[in-house]
Structure 1
């Protein structure tokens, strides 16, 4: 096929998924499907706390929805020619079709990444305690800076050429694209900042483990899961490197393949790994494990009930006249009341705040006002 810079004289016919486009779809769609499944489970089993939606779940769902939109757009772009060499598409006008959709997918992608970081920050807020003001300001700085960097990247990317069509239509040689280098350099900074935030959030998650009282197995698992941010940081660095290579080549439709693949790995890795800690108890039930802090019965065990109440609960139930055992609601109410009182007492047992499987140090001796108002959020 000969390459021309002339406008199309016939209707555009998508060439279909070929070469690098096939690789993009084979890598990205399985990860997308897994992220969707994890997000659905998170909504069902860890989507609310005390009857209200959890913000970490809300942002995680938003990230997955926007990421899926980006994935759909990228699939269409691959059908239109992304992954093929520019000269194989026949003309600049033909190449403008996949490049236009690619840019739309890229804009959705960077915002999906931002929302995924917001989900992680919201999750870390759930193990934050009121006296830790420095940590609170630090977490606020992380999400605000992420949103600002993403907003600037979006503005520069959409305004890099006048008219805007010249961003993806290389046949417009008279367009003013002086902002393109600023957008490109900010893209390098955005990728580097993404890697930094991945590393910092992973380190933060690991460092706060000293404030958590849990089994060593739980601590190691939590560190490994949240430490997945290091892998995301590596993916971000590689993606930025391939973005630099794209800027050196005129064969954009082919050179963006590696950038797309590593960006997809980075996004879905963050979405999947950050959703596993809130789903801990779901996976424990699936694999047939039992948490040591929960009883498998609806009735309180002897370890959680005062000795005086244990005697009453273990007394034989009275029988009816026909010899059948009748339900003694009084004993059940006593058991439930005893369990509730014991739970309230243990929620601040020894200055430790219970957040289901994780226990966060409270230091009530120095800050007694923190004894009230902490919820039992799932970590």
Structure 2
């Protein structure tokens, strides 16, 4: 391998790649497992968004595994420190990993859209706009994969660069791929930002305390961070043009691709983790979720509304007292949420009604009855 003598022989981004990728991917995996547990065991309401997120996690794990194997053979070091065969092998593994990396940040957008349409019940127009936007982002990302593997004829010349110098293969200008990848990243950032802003436009109109509305907006708006990560990743795409030091020049791109996909998945999981927090703090138990579901299974009424009449009709106590009646009203009605939405998974409004009463004194014989 011809030496370019750029950089130091001790330069190695491999440890940094492994530290960032496995730490983030580990956190993501734990959150996805917690989400699947909540949706399947506590709420018994797994949806398309949950399966899409699980698929994205698997793609991310494959991406990390391929990159780990690549780092093991020398990826992250300067190309002039490696043999020609090692550079070709590292280039092949890197190109292969990008396939799973691109899918891992495209799929969560579809999952977020499925989640938003399930819990926010948007109008038909908004629903169509959300699905068209995220489907377009997924389509553009898929085309990016096709361009990547059709840049050269034959495709193996993408990593076996000696075929081009020997005149046995032809490759398109690498900036065609870079420019399209920048367009893909910009669209991805825009979609992430749109999915983060949209919930706020709905939640801020609800009749609940400002604190709760802001908390929900923050939980559902974490995708804005993923938008920033996509923009940063676009600035690293120029590393694809560094053919003389490909194993070192594209390391930052690998890192930021992983960061973007993990941040999108984490942002989509956080709004679903409230039951875990309640279990940890001891506010609820696993059996309470199961009991709630079994009690109201198949009922279109909100969970606590059936208890209101019985509470109001109970005999009065013999002495003065205060009874607090709590009723819960679904902000999104059952007929609006759809039959596949579990009541516990809906946004609810809670009203507390306090009823004061006291025992009427007994009238003496012969005294006229006084009215209240």
TM-score normalised by structure 2 residue count: 0.75
Change in CA separation of 1:40 and 1:372 when aligned onto 2, cut-off 3 Å: closer
Which position in structure 2 is the counterpart of 1:261?
255
Which position in structure 1 is the counterpart of 2:35?
42
Give the Cα–Cα distance (whole angstroms) in 2 for the partners of residues 148 and 206 of structure 1. 27
**Among 267, 276, 284, the residue aligned to 1:282:** 276
Answer whether contact 2:78 2:247 (CA < 8 A) is retained.
yes
Deviations 1:266-288 (A, max 9, x none): 11111112101112122133134
- Mapping for residues 82-93 of structure 1, pairs under 5 Å: 82-91=75-84, 93=85
Change in CA separation of 1:279 and 1:215 when aligned onto 2, cut-off 3 Å: farther
Answer whether contact 2:188 2:230 (CA < 8 A) is retained.
yes
Change in CA separation of 1:290 and 1:50 when aligned onto 2, cut-off 3 Å: closer
Give the Cα–Cα distance (whole angstroms) in 1 for the partners of residues 276 and 313 of structure 2. 32
- Mapping for residues 1-379 of structure 1, pairs under 5 Å: 3=2, 19-47=12-40, 51=44, 53-91=46-84, 93-129=85-121, 132-172=123-163, 173=165, 174=167, 175-178=169-172, 180-248=174-242, 250-289=244-283, 304-311=308-315, 346-347=329-330, 352-353=331-332, 370=336, 373=339, 375=341, 376=343, 377-378=345-346
Answer whether contact 2:175 2:241 (CA < 8 A) is retained.
no
Deviations 1:46-97 (A, max 9, x none): 2489855311111110000111111101111111221100101132x22011
1:370 deviation in Å?
A: 4.7
Change in CA separation of 1:83 and 1:378 when aligned onto 2, cut-off 3 Å: farther
Gaps of 5+ in 1: 5-16, 316-338, 356-368
1:255 deviation in Å?
A: 1.1
Give the Cα–Cα distance (whole angstroms) in 2 for the partners of residues 81 and 141 of structure 1. 42
Give the Cα–Cα distance (whole angstroms) in 1 for the partners of residues 306 and 221 of structure 2. 39
1:206 deviation in Å?
A: 2.2
Deviations 1:208-266 (A, max 9, x none): 21244444333222222333222211211111111124425631110112111222211
Answer whether contact 1:47 1:54 (CA < 8 A) is retained.
no
TM-score normalised by structure 1 residue count: 0.74
Change in CA separation of 1:246 and 1:164 when aligned onto 2, cut-off 3 Å: closer
Deviations 1:92-116 (A, max 9, x none): x220111111111111010111111
Give the Cα–Cα distance (whole angstroms) in 2 for the partners of residues 373 and 353 of structure 1. 12
Change in CA separation of 1:140 and 1:52 when aligned onto 2, cut-off 3 Å: same
C-alpha RMSD of the superposition: 3.4
Change in CA separation of 1:310 and 1:89 when aligned onto 2, cut-off 3 Å: farther
1:189 deviation in Å?
A: 0.7
Higher mean C-alpha deviation, range 259-268 or range 101-110: 259-268
Answer whether contact 1:46 1:279 (CA < 8 A) is retained.
no
Equivalences, count: 316
